Amino acid sequence: MSPQRAFSLLLLAGAAAVSLPAAADTRLLRFPDVCGERVVFTYAGDLWTTSVQGGTAVRLTAGPGLEQSARFSPDCSRVAFTGQYGGDDQVYVIDAAGGEPTQLTYYPTIGPLPQRWGFDHQVYGWTPDGQAVLFRSWRDSINTSHPQLYTIPAAGGLPTALPMPSAGVGRYSPDGTRIVYSPKFRDFRTWNRYVGGWAQDLYIYDFAAKSAKNITNDPNTDRDPVWIGEAVYFLADRGAYMNLYRYDVGSGQTRQLTHYQGADARWASGGSNGLIAYEVDGTLHVYDTKTDEDRALAITVPSDLVRARAEERSVKDRIEDFALSENGKRALFTARGEVFSVPVKDGITLNLTHTPGLHEREAAWSADGKRLAYVSDQDGEEAIWVRNADGSGATKLTTESFGRLYAPRWSPDGSRIAFVDSESRLRVVATAGGGPAPVIADDPGISRRDYAWSPGGHYLAYTLTDAGTQVQRLFVYDLAATRSVPVGGAEASAYGPAFSPDGKHLYFIGDREWTPQISSVEWNFAANRSAGIFALALRKDGANPFAPKNDRADQDEDKDAKANGKDEEKGAKKDAKPGAVDDRIDFDGLDRRLIRAPIEPDNIGWIGLTGKALYYVTGDGFYYGREGAYKSKLKAYVFDERKEQDVFEDVHGLAFAPASSSVLVQSGQAYKLIDLSAGKPEPKDVKLDGLYARVDPKAEYAAIFGEVWRRYRDHFYVHNMHGYDWNAIRAKYEPMLAWVGDRSDLNYLLGQMVAELNVGHAYVSGGDFQLPQRPNVGLIGARFELDAASGRYRIARILEGSNDEERYRSPLTEVGVDARVGDYVLAINGQPLGATDNPYRLLRVAPGQLVQLTLNARPNETGARTVLVKPVANEMDLNYYAWTRHNRAYVEKASGGTLGYLHIPDMGPDGIREFIKAFYPQLRKQGLVVDVRDNGGGNVSAMIIERLARKPLGLGYGRGFETTGTYPQQTFLGHLAALCNGTTASDGDIFSYMFKRAKLGPLIGERTWGGVVGISDWGPLIDGGQVSVPQFATASVEGTYVIEGEGVEPDIAVENDVAAQLGGRDPQLDRAIDELKKAIAAAPVGLPPRPADPVKTPDAPKGLGR
């Protein structure tokens, strides 16, 4: 069936007739559970209950944040759920009839998490005796790929981990002797019909036998199990959509129960009285396993939708961009979709648009300051609009749809506006009447913001990047001749064009200063501080603005020059009209009229000019994973003085007004105006307290929905949208906007829409949730246990760390901290800690605060001691460090020291750091295990493959040292094996594919995730939310798409089964060790012995070197 055909089908039930609810019933109901005669569910961020027959719902919670994953206790009297009352995800219990919830967990959750990772401390149910709550957490995990299941007493206490080493969803058998669970967790991923290596299977774990059995064993997704009697019910997408299935525990037979088409069944739960609740297309269904009847519930939720209410609010925390008027007196700020005119000194802040729910951005002043241009989606498509400086006279200029628009800029005379469209085409539209916007330059390499008008408005200079070489080229478009001319040379990158105000020079940044920086870990280079500033004399008689000064005895040049300058300035003010500048260009021989500015090469990101000075911004080199050593600086080269000077430090963004010699600088969250004409510029704060607007969430939800849909239409990596009818998909989901009650509802709806495209990296996250501030918990790198006899907590385990790295610092192992395993913790920060307390509640401290522990070897105060501890923010890094240290020691021991081991957690800063730390010290191992299991992706796999693939071309010897050098240096000489699994993802996928492709060694483990269509940042949505559009696909050198949707198959398939892991074994790692041992035996690793010393005396035999 074609994807288009699928969307025309009605929702159908399989095993029984479906009663469809009335159109007025509330939709977008999620996370249901059923017990007895009641159903509990989430809507608009709160919990509600209703009858199993439907009807009007009753509110159960009204807390801030999201309350979700509610589960009834076995006797239906209580409800456990995951809530965000305190800003992070914690487990709570509330009476099923309502009341005050009781918080059970206090351990700090990781996050805030993107939507695709779901929630920490997610509740899944109860133990069959109703004494404890079952939930999932990352508290003891080495990374987010491996959460675990825990139970916590409903009466309070510390949680207990279940034996399975990795687990997502879980549900107990009725007698509690077994549990059905999924070792993999990806329930919140927005990728329909996924069949990659991360697809979940369901297992039954037997607590007595300590064994696990795969009961689904299917390449598709199997999730949301419910155990009733001797059958496990679950959801699976073995067809086009998720449906309900039944697995008979005795016979092992599986039967499909429903046959929905057009929408997934989701979030199945229940079990009481043989009932299962789940959601289909925003409506709750109850399936009766006794009668095989499926009922759609007609539910009305009388919510006040408090999170969706419109209100006046400060929006200065949602600034997207800003611009400065040419006279330097007013600035335009776009924030929360509105355009504001802000006085830089005196006056009133004006909201010029007053369009709640529209995403208006990229506002720009005309040269005379009487009008502004901006991008607006007022008519459902982005267009260039203009209006007067007082906000009146809004006019739409562009009448065609050009997709997402960027960087509107006025011509100096105000007659035209240039902009860039979603296909990277530079266009120009007339400001008088608008109409067609012809293409000026059409190339996918055009920079969307890196272009400039000449001061007379006759030319546009722009930058494009060559697709093959990645070299940036500078072009000038002649509007009269309708042609583009390359300028600035083709051998090195040229970008950042800026015309001088008199139209005589075109300045640009050029990467031409190649003094490389050498790596500290290998003999290799990186280009850093390679940019200089250059000027092109646009006419054949052009002058050199940096020419040496030459004093004369018969004339005061400075005085005459100043006098002439004043006369010219007076004449210019008297006769000048915007754009009335002679900016003719003599293209013949232009590149030979290149002038280098006499400034030191640096990392230069922007240039601008006044008649008196050249301004530019410098910054430190790019450090992956940390800030540079020094902050970005605004500098000036003063022409008359022929010298550089610092203007301002810590530049995050700027808007320039050369006519008034003013610049508006963003520095952190502050905005400062700098008068560049002053002898010593003094930054002055620009007040933004007037950035108030009416925020209408419901209107914003509709705007965000449309913008997300358009971004996918305009930027998805293939035009055919994977064969799906994108218009039909919009028509399917857009009506659900009527029921969106908060931002979590919207993200859920958007996630379902983009999931239809069957592609990885289709993410929706963030937005305006208005959560309470997350609590700060000072973790001490230890685990507690309760001594029931004394009613006191003690230290059960101290997490291993490495105190030479802040990331892996373990607080209780630091010198001077006298803390030991077995010590009783009598008090935390002076507060007594007893059996009824939770130690993590007492560890909630102010950021940066030390923690004082009162410790003793016995459970009383006699002889107790106090220690001060510098806590850490999270303990996942300590768990990871202990795991990698164990693996490395294990490989060392199993191989007698001949093999090495390294783990690469991602293909980003963390991955590079771990690779550098572990690779170079093990260069002379005979074999190396490269572990990319659970690799979270990034963009540096090519750097690592390049180093692993190096082969020695020669050797080097010298006197005074015995080590044999290689050419190239830092070349690994031994055999390689790589480990991968289902959560080896994104650039980790690519690494695995390229490792195989390069034949570097066997790839061992499980099929990888299979998501390699990359993404880029297209800017925030109106409320600060994010959406990623898969845009860059991976293909083989033969020209076929690879990996996406399937993953990379290992050369040697090995599963790390639960029994092995419970026994402390790692079959994948063991297999890698075995393969490397075999490879070494077949092809021993070594270097030839040092050659004999050459004899070069006259009577020596002739030979090489004689």
* CATH number of the domain residue 892 falls in: 3.90.226.10
Pairing of strands 975-980, 927-931: parallel
pLDDT tens digits, one per residue of 105-157: 999 999 888 999 999 999 999 999 999 999 999 999 999 999 999 999 999 99
Residues 825 and 908 both lie in one domain: no
Q: Is 569 a residue whose pLDDT tops 70?
A: no
Residues 901 and 790 both lie in one domain: no
Catalytic sites, residue numbers: 761, 986, 1044
Residues 925 and 804 both lie in one domain: no
Q: Give the tokens for residue 326.
A: 């040419």
pLDDT tens digits, one per residue of 555-567: 554 554 444 434 4
Distances (CA, A) of 887 to 366, 615, 619, 864, 1075: 63, 54, 40, 38, 16
Cα–Cα distance measured from residue 235 to residue 50, given in angstroms and rounded to the nearest whole number: 23
Specify whether the CB–CB gap between 826 and 861 falls below 8 A: yes
Q: Is 15 a residue whose pLDDT tops 50?
A: no
pLDDT tens digits, one per residue of 650-699: 999 999 999 999 999 999 999 999 999 887 889 999 999 999 999 999 99
Tell me which of 307, 328, 349 is where a domain ends.
307
Specify whether the CB–CB gap between 115 and 763 falls below 8 A: yes
* CATH number of the domain encompassing residue 496: 2.130.10.10
Please give the pLDDT value at position 171: 98
DSSP string, 82-94: EE-TTSS-EEEEE
Specify whether the CB–CB gap between 945 and 972 falls below 8 A: no
Residues 506 and 592 both lie in one domain: yes
Please give the pLDDT value at position 573: 46
Cα–Cα distance measured from residue 526 to residue 530, given in angstroms and rounded to the nearest whole number: 10
Sign of CA dihedral 543, 548, 554, 557: positive
Residues 106 and 250 both lie in one domain: yes
* CATH number of the domain encompassing residue 71: 2.120.10.60
Please name the residue that has the structure tokens 């009725």.
174
Report, as an integer, the average pLDDT of 726-745: 97
Is 385 within a domain? no
Cα–Cα distance measured from residue 105 to residue 93, given in angstroms and rounded to the nearest whole number: 10
Please give the pLDDT value at position 715: 95
Give the end-to-end CA distance of the chain in Å, rounded to a whole number.
Answer: 79
Nearest alpha-carbon partner for 761 in 730, 716, 796, 694:
716
The lowest-confidence range among 146-155, 283-292, 669-678, 1067-1076 is 669-678
pLDDT band at 1104 (very low <50, low <70, confident <90, very high): low
Residues 11 and 128 both lie in one domain: yes
Longest dimension (CA), the chain: 111
Cα–Cα distance measured from residue 166 to residue 145, given in angstroms and rounded to the nearest whole number: 8
pLDDT band at 1106 (very low <50, low <70, confident <90, very high): low
DSSP run (H or E) holding 32: strand 30-35
Is 219 within a domain? yes
Total number of domains in the chain? 4
Residues 606 and 642 both lie in one domain: yes
Q: Is 704 a residue whose pLDDT tops 60?
A: yes
Neighbouring-strand partners of residue 318: none
Please give the pLDDT value at position 63: 87
Is 1090 within a domain? no
Residues 91 and 145 both lie in one domain: yes
The answer for residues whose C-beta is within 8 angstroms of residue 743's C-beta and 6 or more apart is 307, 697, 767, 768, 769, 1023, 1025
Tell me which of 275, 307, 339 is where a domain ends.
307
Nearest alpha-carbon partner for 708 in 739, 747, 756, 742:
747
Cα 772–chain centre separation: 22
Does a cis peptide bond (omega within 30 degrees of 0) precede residue 968? yes
pLDDT band at 14 (very low <50, low <70, confident <90, very high): very low
- Residue range(s) defining the domain that contains residue 504: 446-547+580-651
Tell me which of 872, 893, 919 is where a domain ends.
872
* CATH number of the domain encompassing residue 786: 2.30.42.10
Nearest alpha-carbon partner for 662 in 645, 682, 676:
676
Q: Is 19 a residue whose pLDDT tops 60?
A: no
Distances (CA, A) of 320 to 8, 340, 431, 1024: 40, 12, 24, 9
Nearest alpha-carbon partner for 905 in 810, 813, 808, 822:
808
The answer for residues whose C-beta is within 8 angstroms of residue 102's C-beta and 6 or more apart is 92, 93, 94, 156
Is 723 within a domain? no
The answer for residues whose C-beta is within 8 angstroms of residue 563's C-beta and 6 or more apart is none
Residue 779 φ/ψ, nearest 5 degrees: -80, 145
At position 924, the amino acid (one-letter code) is: R
pLDDT band at 1018 (very low <50, low <70, confident <90, very high): confident
Residues 222 and 280 both lie in one domain: yes
Please give the pLDDT value at position 248: 98
Helix segments in 491-617, DSSP class H: 557-575
Residues 128 and 238 both lie in one domain: yes
Is 955 within a domain? yes
Is 1066 within a domain? yes
Is 31 within a domain? yes
When comparing pLDDT for 75 and 272, which is higher?
75
Residues 938 and 865 both lie in one domain: no
Is 468 within a domain? yes
Cα 754–chain centre separation: 17
pLDDT tens digits, one per residue of 864-905: 999 999 999 999 999 999 999 999 999 999 999 999 999 999
When comparing pLDDT for 955 and 630, which is higher?
955
528 half-sphere exposure, CB direction, 13 A CA radius: 12
pLDDT tens digits, one per residue of 334-381: 999 999 999 999 999 999 999 999 999 999 999 999 999 999 999 999
Please give the pLDDT value at position 2: 40
Residues 149 and 179 both lie in one domain: yes
Distances (CA, A) of 477 to 439, 459, 588: 11, 5, 15
Cα–Cα distance measured from residue 225 to residue 222, given in angstroms and rounded to the nearest whole number: 8
